[in-house]
Amino acid sequence: MVMSDYYYTTATRGDLQYLAFLNDPTFATPGPEPDNLLLNGTNMNAAGTKGKYLKVALTKGKKHLLRLINASVDQAMSVSLDGHQMTIITSDFVPVQPLTVDILMINIGQRYEVVINANAAPGNYWFRSQCNTACVSSNQNANGGLAIFTYSGVKVATPTTTSNATDPGCNEPSPLTPWVSNTVGSSSDFIQQAKDLDVAFPATGVSSNGKNILQWGINASALDIQWEKPIMSYLLENNNSWPSTENLIEIPDEGIWTFWVLQEQGFASLPHPIHLHGVSC
């Protein structure tokens, strides 16, 4: 299930809020709210007059695997299924020890696989995807993204169920424990290297033309991704001659401590400058 935010107007919209957002390199101006949230590309509008709900069938007594992807531009989402729990089994493709939750906060770009046990009374249930306000997310459809989960043999109808989930805040599920643990060994060499590390920063990094063009630097070089040929495609071809503009950072060995210094420069002070996918810390 792909969750996404949806804007009725285009990226070239001319309203004052959006223009202020585009022209503010300090990020103090919030982006415009989406008009709706979609589940697999569909939902009713805020007035309930257009669109349709995604419909999913459940079989009584069976367990169902659901893959969840937050593909939104700017919204962290909290998802739940009325009257049911979800058991997390993978996080960003990493198999984890099963963790059962009532609600799951999924940030932008994150992926989870959950198992839903169809052990409730047969009927129609709301599946909910709500903007997580604690993560400074919001949208103009107060109902959020909705889908109808219906038990086989039951006529599909608009659910009357209510949510039994507690607001998770801006918190990811915890603890997520990988099935396969990785041990990085002694930190003594790492600590010694950190003591000797030269952390003088170059003048480059985040730069701006004083208007609405920003350049983000990694290792003093701007990241320029080829969307049509991601790094994974090079690896599948056994080809390690990727362009330097991909800013791929290679570490010498696996299973070692790696020291990162994050530089926030000048006007671009961010609360969330970097995150990693598929890594358990």
Q: What is the pLDDT of residues 31-50, one digit of tens each?
A: 678 899 999 999 999 999 99
The pLDDT score that the predictor gives to residue 17 is: 61
**Domain count across the chain:** 2
The answer on 202 and 129 residing in a single domain is: no
**CA separation (Å) from 119 to 84, 86, 116?**
8, 12, 9
Average of pLDDT values for 189-216?
A: 60
Q: Considering the domain boundaries, does residue 174 fall inside one?
A: no
Nearest-angstrom CA–CA distance, 240 and 121? 54
b/e burial code for range 55-94 (CB count within 10 A of at least 16 → b): ebebeeeeeeebebebebebbbbbbbbbbbbbebbbbbee
Q: Considering the domain boundaries, does residue 156 fall inside one?
A: no
The pLDDT score that the predictor gives to residue 246 is: 80
Three-state DSSP state, 147:
strand
Q: Of the candidates 139, 135, 144, 141, which has an alpha carbon nearest to the alpha carbon of residue 33?
A: 139
The answer on 140 and 255 residing in a single domain is: no
Final residue in a domain of this structure, among 103, 131, 151: 151
Final residue in a domain of this structure, among 151, 172, 201: 151
Taking the model in full, what pTM does it have?
A: 0.74
Q: Which residue has the tokens 């058991």?
A: 87
Cis peptide before 243 (omega within 30 of 0): no
Q: N- to C-terminal Cα distance for the chain?
A: 27
Q: What is the pLDDT of residues 67-116, one digit of tens each?
A: 999 999 888 999 999 999 999 999 998 899 999 999 999 998 899 999 99
Do you know the residue count of the chain?
281
Say which amino acid occupies 94.
V
Q: Which domain holds residue 252?
A: 182-281
**CA separation (Å) from 228 to 33, 142, 235, 236?**
29, 36, 15, 15
Give the tokens for residue 181: 């643990």
The pLDDT score that the predictor gives to residue 208 is: 52
The answer on 240 and 194 residing in a single domain is: yes
Q: Considering the domain boundaries, does residue 12 fall inside one?
A: yes
Nearest-angstrom CA–CA distance, 140 and 128? 15
Q: Is there a contact between 27 and 65 (Cβ–Cβ < 8 Å)?
A: no
The answer on 132 and 86 residing in a single domain is: yes
The pLDDT score that the predictor gives to residue 266 is: 52
